[in-house]
Structure 1
Amino acid sequence: MAPMMDLHSAQKQQQAISPRLQHAVRLLQMSSLDFAALVQEQLGRNPFLEVEDGDGGPAGQADAEAADSGFDIPFDEREPWRGEGSAAPRRAEDEELAALERMPEPTSLKMHLQGQLNVLSLPARDLLLASIIVESLDADGYLRSPLPELAEVAELLPPADPAEMQIALKRVQALDPAGVGARSVAECLELQLPAIDCPLTRELAGLIVTQHLPMLAARDVMGLAHALRATPARIEAVCRRLRRLDPHPGWRYETAQPPYVLPDVLTRRVRGQWRVLLNPAVVPRVRFNQVYAELFQRHRARGDGEMASHLQEARWTVRNVEQRFATILDVAAAIVRRQRHFLEFGAMAMKPLALREIADEVGVHESTVSRVTNNKYMATPAGVYELKYFFSRPLLSRNGSACSGTAIRGLIKDLIEAEVPQAPLSDAEIARQLGQQGLMVARRTVTKYRQMLRIEAVERRRSHA
């Protein structure tokens, strides 16, 4: 007998996010620089958008919302946000701009090495193998790819054998800067040892680099002296010479620009009250061109689907600009109201703060606060901080009061800065001293916070002077 099939239906409610809402969420999560670049690109191709030259638009909206919340937002009309079609910068009378234009392009590490290879009298096959190795170096100047893989990339007939690849590698390692083409830190330092003039120092340095590199990293002078049968003073001198070598020879040719942070909001103390204002430099001054929109609606005809799409996109763009910066301002103002003691007294006055607290105060979802605080920065008297910096879980003290992780990190930093160089504090000792102050912090938590502060371990902080 065939089995009977049981068919039934069930209803299920599921929230669906529209593409428009998904797009707004992505825009909210962008950094202000990325958002400004996106708006600038839309200004260049959307005829219904134009650069604002008045007091309306997002700036005026932000002003109104700031007035309601008691926070000032001044905007400098002399520095409007300019789109791609703005006029070219005016040339300075002293031709300062022209001098900048004549500055040479920085030379990258690979360009520097290829230039040296090109002046060598090498057969085409050898030059190709050496060039492949140069192009495979990373930003540190290290070769991370195995030589057999690079031999396959060359696609030579006959294929390059291991001996040829080793010769090509040696050619690259003989180029300037010394240490380039190394496959490990030890090999990088070893390639730089010929620069040491003293034979005895060079010999001891070679033994340290090839056999005792972990002890060098740990600054274990006594251990090295025992292993190499030399005096601690001699070993200390050799270690000082080794520290003058460059473990990252490619960095001096690094052409990448350093990351710059442009704050989204600014804090200012006025008559004893902290005020939050949007940074005018990050607010795109874009507005909807009502004249073009009315002309299009009046003479609209069939086949104008693309223009209609531009019209809808322009409305969304202006609305997203207003909503984005109004939300950022509300969240930042709520953070400042709760963390005003940090602005006055520093990191040790930071209070525990959760995303939900700000979400409830502003009237948005917790995930919205998370997106707003991502890649958004606030300029304070103590420096520029990401908005996420002001949030931390509470750590209970012995008396039951809560303390933020930021405040604990501030205490750890102060303890380490006040330590004796010859007897630095271990993480366990720091945890013990915090316990004496009534703060229950585990040793592993101290280690995590110390690493977040980019402070070396106790062994590397110890001075043998």
Structure 2
Amino acid sequence: MKPGLSLRVSQHLSLTPQLQQSIQLLQLSTLELAQEVEQMLVDNPFLERSGDEADAVSDAPAEIAPAAHEYSASDSISSEKEVGQAQAASDSVAEATSAETPEALNWEADGMDGQDGEWGGESSSEWDSPSGSGSTRNRDGDGETDAIDLAREHESLTAFLHRQALSLRLGAEDCAALRFLIESLNDDGYLEDSLQELAQSLAGDDLEEREELEQRFAIALKLLQSLEPVGVGARDLSECLQLQLRDLIHAAEDEGTTEAHMNRLKLAQAICKQPMDLLARRDLRKLTSLCGAREEPLREAMSLIAGLEPRPGRRFVDVERNIIVPDVIVRPVRVSSGRVDFSVQLNADVMPRLRVHDIYAGVLRRHKSSEGHAALQQQLQEARWFIKNIQQRFDTILRVSQAIVERQKNFFVHGELAMRPLVLRDIADQLGLHESTISRVTTAKYMATPQGTFELKYFFGSGLGTETGGSASSTAVRALIKQFVDAESPKKPLSDAKLADMLKEQGIECARRTVAKYREQLKIPTTTLRKAL
């Protein structure tokens, strides 16, 4: 083979660094964006977080004052032509910027002067909390405590147990053993590791010390299981239920309960000593033979067990992990003739207020011939592009949210049963964007609505055929199935086939397998498990 030269013409898509950053920021969640902003503030000296002073906006020229990011669902959106022109202009600026040398850049007329000022959705007078903090404050100023403050005041399970342990008169070693066991509990209040494993983790290969630790842990475990909540410190579900039943038996003895109730408690305790899978399957035949009881008392005892708490630490789970800070807020707005419209507004608390450091930018502008000017010039440009890309991220989220509200307006009025079929392509075609962009926008972004807080992806769902030739949203069908199950007779629950027939009566064609899939998604047990004892 001879080496040679050849010319070839080809086309390929090239993503500029600015466009790559824009795509990256678009797919980040609120928490990830806050972390990215903090990292950028550390890395780039030209970027700073704007304060709450109003003069940063009032002193800015009229052409760069931030506009309010609040629109009504009935407002018109930009045409596809305008969107395309704006995107083309953005790409042209990016390519021109990357092609020019830093020395050739003109700061007085670089087309980015508007980024030196603060940008944000609301003035600091309305939103007095710093953005990116993750807290959602009441806009009406009624003084309500925000959700994160409530979460911080929430006492954890370990703190609750440590507080009870202080009232016990224990020696230093027993106190240390009890504290070690408390710290070894999982979120549900169970002790997952055996005492032998815990002792070995501390003593290592020292057999004598390991045996001594096992003895102390055994004593500490008895003390732990005597604390509130009842059932804490159990090694498995069986032990957890038995601890609760033992407490109920002691309470019944102190109160002098009837013999029938006491027998029911003891029978329930005997059931919990059997394999848990028999109780889960409600295998009355095997439980009857193992416990030596008739079927009717066995049903009553199983009903009593159903009222126990399988996870003692449930109410102590850190609620801060379950807090969802919405990116978009939807509020009803009553218009003329009694018609209700909805306003779509960005949550100012999740919008980082950033600006270019004016002093540093001015010094760099006046010392163009200084050493290291090119590198600093590049950092200044990166700061400007970062602010622009963040603003574009929130503008895109708002446009997509507005389009969703327009399409699913009936949901915001009537709930899940009024949800319409909607796919990513519908919104993409309406806004002139690619489906992948809509997918990035709707992932890990949340909308607070009168019906609750939902991920943007929640409003998308496939359609099922109807007798009239239309289609029904899968979300609406799931809501209808849940409604049927909630209204069923506990003694005669509805089977999947019966649910499919009931949907057909409503004009919705839904196979039994599809009903079973939707039921599993709703975490509704099977007919056998739903049947009342």
Aligned to 2:242: 190
Whether contact under 8 Å (2:181, 2:220) holds in the other structure is no
Structure 2 residue runs of 5 or longer lacking an equivalent are 79-119, 134-142, 253-261
Q: Counterparts of 1:261 and 1:251 in 2: how far apart (Å)? A: 19
Deviation at 1:308, TM superposition (A): 4.2
Aligned to 1:205: 268
Mapping of residues 99-114 of structure 1, within 5 Å: 106=155, 108-109=157-158, 112=161
Deviation at 1:369, TM superposition (A): 0.9
Aligned to 2:106: none
Q: Deviations over 1:45-74 (max 9, x none)?
A: 74543245458769517469996529xx98
Give the letter for the 2:274 counterpart.
Answer: Q
Residues 321/26 of structure 1: CA separation in 2 closer, same or farther (3 Å cut): same
TM-score, normalising length: structure 2: 0.69
Residues 189/80 of structure 1: CA separation in 2 closer, same or farther (3 Å cut): closer
Aligned partner (choices 330, 352, 357) of residue 426 of structure 2 = 357
Q: Deviations over 1:30-89 (max 9, x none)?
A: 23355356546756874543245458769517469996529xx98465224655999xxx
Aligned to 1:382: 451
Residues 305/226 of structure 1: CA separation in 2 closer, same or farther (3 Å cut): farther
Whether contact under 8 Å (2:464, 2:472) holds in the other structure is yes
Give the letter for the 1:141 counterpart.
Answer: G
Aligned to 1:140: 188
Whether contact under 8 Å (2:488, 2:494) holds in the other structure is yes
Residues 123/203 of structure 1: CA separation in 2 closer, same or farther (3 Å cut): same
Q: Counterparts of 2:71 and 2:219 in 1: how far apart (Å)? A: 68
Aligned to 2:26: 28
Give the letter for the 1:168 counterpart.
Answer: F
Give the letter for the 2:410 counterpart.
Answer: H
Residues 209/230 of structure 1: CA separation in 2 closer, same or farther (3 Å cut): same
Q: Counterparts of 2:526 and 2:13 in 1: how far apart (Å)? A: 49
Structure 1 residue runs of 5 or longer lacking an equivalent are 87-93
Which 10-residue stretch deviates more, 386-395 or 140-149? 140-149
1:60 maps onto 2:60 in alignment: no
Aligned partner (choices 126, 131, 141) of residue 79 of structure 1 = 126
Aligned to 1:153: 201
Q: Deviations over 1:86-123 (max 9, x none)?
A: 9xxxxxxx9x99xx99x988354277259739956568
Which 10-residue stretch deviates more, 159-168 or 422-431? 159-168
Q: Counterparts of 1:145 and 1:298 in 2: how far apart (Å)? A: 66
Task: Name the SS for the 2:67 alignment partner.
Answer: helix
Q: Counterparts of 1:423 and 1:369 in 2: how far apart (Å)? A: 44
Whether contact under 8 Å (1:110, 1:135) holds in the other structure is no
Q: Counterparts of 1:22 and 1:85 in 2: how far apart (Å)? A: 23
Give the total of aligned pairs: 448
1:297 maps onto 2:295 in alignment: no
Deviation at 1:253, TM superposition (A): 3.9
Aligned to 1:90: none
Q: Counterparts of 2:344 and 2:71 in 1: how far apart (Å)? A: 13
Aligned to 1:171: 220
Whether contact under 8 Å (1:129, 1:168) holds in the other structure is yes
Aligned partner (choices 349, 355, 366) of residue 287 of structure 1 = 355
Q: Counterparts of 2:293 and 2:365 in 1: how far apart (Å)? A: 90
Q: Counterparts of 2:129 and 2:176 in 1: how far apart (Å)? A: 47
Aligned to 2:401: 332
Q: Counterparts of 1:118 and 1:15 in 2: how far apart (Å)? A: 70
Aligned to 2:259: none
Task: Name the SS for the 1:451 alignment partner.
Answer: helix
Whether contact under 8 Å (1:57, 1:285) holds in the other structure is no
Q: Deviations over 1:352-385 (max 9, x none)?
A: 2221221222222222111111122223332222
Mapping of residues 61-460 of structure 1, within 5 Å: 62=69, 69=77, 75=122, 78-80=125-127, 83=130, 106=155, 108-109=157-158, 112=161, 116=165, 121=170, 124=173, 132-156=180-204, 158-159=206-207, 165=214, 168-169=217-218, 171-175=220-224, 176-177=227-228, 178-197=230-249, 200-211=263-274, 213-217=276-280, 228-230=291-293, 234-257=297-320, 259-267=322-330, 268-269=332-333, 270-271=335-336, 272=339, 273-290=341-358, 292-300=360-368, 301-303=370-372, 307-308=376-377, 310-398=379-467, 400-460=469-529
Deviation at 1:215, TM superposition (A): 4.7
Give the letter for the 1:298 counterpart.
Answer: R
Deviation at 1:387, TM superposition (A): 0.8
Residues 417/250 of structure 1: CA separation in 2 closer, same or farther (3 Å cut): closer
Residues 374/85 of structure 1: CA separation in 2 closer, same or farther (3 Å cut): closer
Q: Counterparts of 1:347 and 1:295 in 2: how far apart (Å)? A: 57
Residues 127/33 of structure 1: CA separation in 2 closer, same or farther (3 Å cut): closer
Q: Counterparts of 1:253 and 1:79 in 2: how far apart (Å)? A: 34
Which 10-residue stretch deviates more, 244-253 or 154-163? 154-163
Whether contact under 8 Å (2:130, 2:349) holds in the other structure is no
Q: Counterparts of 1:47 and 1:236 in 2: how far apart (Å)? A: 72
Residues 57/203 of structure 1: CA separation in 2 closer, same or farther (3 Å cut): farther
Q: Counterparts of 1:64 and 1:8 in 2: how far apart (Å)? A: 61
Q: Counterparts of 2:63 and 2:322 in 1: how far apart (Å)? A: 32
1:461 maps onto 2:530 in alignment: yes
Residues 61/312 of structure 1: CA separation in 2 closer, same or farther (3 Å cut): farther
Q: Counterparts of 1:258 and 1:350 in 2: how far apart (Å)? A: 29
Q: Percent identity?
A: 35
RMSD across aligned positions (CA): 4.5
Q: Counterparts of 1:107 and 1:393 in 2: how far apart (Å)? A: 41
